[in-house]
Amino acid sequence: MICLFGNQKGGVGKSTLTVLSGNYLSLAKEWPVTIIDMDYQLSISQKFEKAKVLENKEPYDVLPATLETFPLLSNKLSASKEDAILIDLPGKLDDDGLIPVFRSADLVICPFTYDEFTFESTVLFTVVLKKVNPKVDIVFIPNRIKANVKFEIMSEVNEQLSKFGKITTKLPDRVDFQRITTFETPFSLDELITPVFEEIFAERLWKK
C-alpha cells in the first residue's frame, strides 16, 4: 500500500500524521512500514536521525527524497506492495514531478482545518489529485481542532469534502502531538488517534 499525506496548505499536520501512522501500523499492527520524507523541511528525517543518535531501535526506515529522485524509488515501491509505504508530500502543486507520485498512490490522507483558506487549498489539492489519479481513495482528517471554538463553515466544508472522500473523527489541538518521535507515540494520544486510524486502515489491514 502506498499512502500519501498531503495538502497544498502548510501547517495542517501532515508530517505529524505521517509519523503517527507509521508508529501505529508498525508498533500496534506489526505491519512493515517505510516512510519517504519528501517535505522540504525534512522534519521526519530529522526526528529519525535524532532517535538513532539516542540508540533507539527504529521500528521502520525513513528515507529522505525529492520529486526528482522519486522515480529512482519505483523499484522499491513496486517490490513492497504488501508493505505500508507512507509518503510525506511537499506542500505545493506547481511541479510536474508530483504526477508520478500521485499516480503511485493507493490512498491519500489529507489533514485540514476549518478555515476558509485551508478549505480552498484542500479542495484545489483534491481536484488536482483526482485528475491525475481518479481511482485513488482520499481520507480527510480534521486536525488541530481547537476546543470550544465554533466553526461557521464546518457543515459546508464537510458537505463539499465528502463528495471526494471520507471524513474521519476530528483530532484536537494538543501539545502532546509535539512530543511524538519515530519510535514512540505518547500514551496520552493513543485514545485519540487509534479510532481515527482504525477508520482508515482496518479494512486495508484485513486485506493484507
Taking 80 as the threshold, does the pLDDT of residue 36 lie above it? Answer: yes
pLDDT band at 81 (very low <50, low <70, confident <90, very high): low
Domain count, the chain: 1
Please choose, from the candidates 25, 11, 10, 19, the residue with its C-alpha nearest in 3D space to the C-alpha of residue 200.
25
Q: Which residues contact 3 (CB under 8 A, 6 or more apart)?
A: 21, 84, 85, 86, 87, 105, 106, 107, 108, 109
Dmax (CA) for the chain in angstroms is: 48
Give the model's pLDDT for residue 7.
95
Quick check: is 207 in a domain?
Answer: no
- At 191, phi and psi to the nearest 5? -70, -20
66 inside domain: yes
Residue 169 included in any domain? yes
pLDDT value at 196 more than 60 = yes
> In this structure, what DSSP letter does residue 27 have?
I
Q: Is 165 helix (H, G, I), strand (E, B) or coil?
A: coil
Residue 70 inside a domain? The answer is yes
Q: Which helix (H) or strand (E) holds 107?
A: strand 107-112
Q: Per-residue confidence at 80, pLDDT binned at 50, 70, 90?
A: low
Q: Minimum mean pLDDT among 53-57, 75-79, 119-123, 125-129: which range?
A: 75-79
Asked, for residue 35, whether it belongs to a domain, the answer is yes
pTM of the predicted model as reported, rounded to 2 decimal places: 0.93
114 assigned to some structural domain: yes
User: pLDDT tens-digit profile of 55-69?
Assistant: 677 899 999 999 998
* pLDDT (mean) for 12-34: 95
Cα 154 to Cα 97, 119, 126, 145, 149, distances in angstroms? 33, 10, 18, 11, 11
In which domain, by residue range, is 38 found? 2-200
Q: Which run of H or of E encompasses 111?
A: strand 107-112
Residue scoring higher pLDDT (158 or 147): 158
Instruction: Name the nearest CA neighbour of 98 among 106, 86, 90, 107.
Output: 90
Query: In this structure, is residue 38 part of a structural domain?
Result: yes
Q: Under a CB-based contact definition with an 8 Å cutoff, are residues 100 and 127 in contact? A: no
The enclosing domain of 112 has a CATH number of 3.40.50.300
pLDDT at residue 208 greater than cutoff 60: no
Cβ(87)–Cβ(119) below 8 Å? no
pLDDT score at 44: 95
Tell whether 49 is covered by a domain: yes
What pLDDT is recorded for position 60? 93
Average pLDDT over residues 72-87: 77
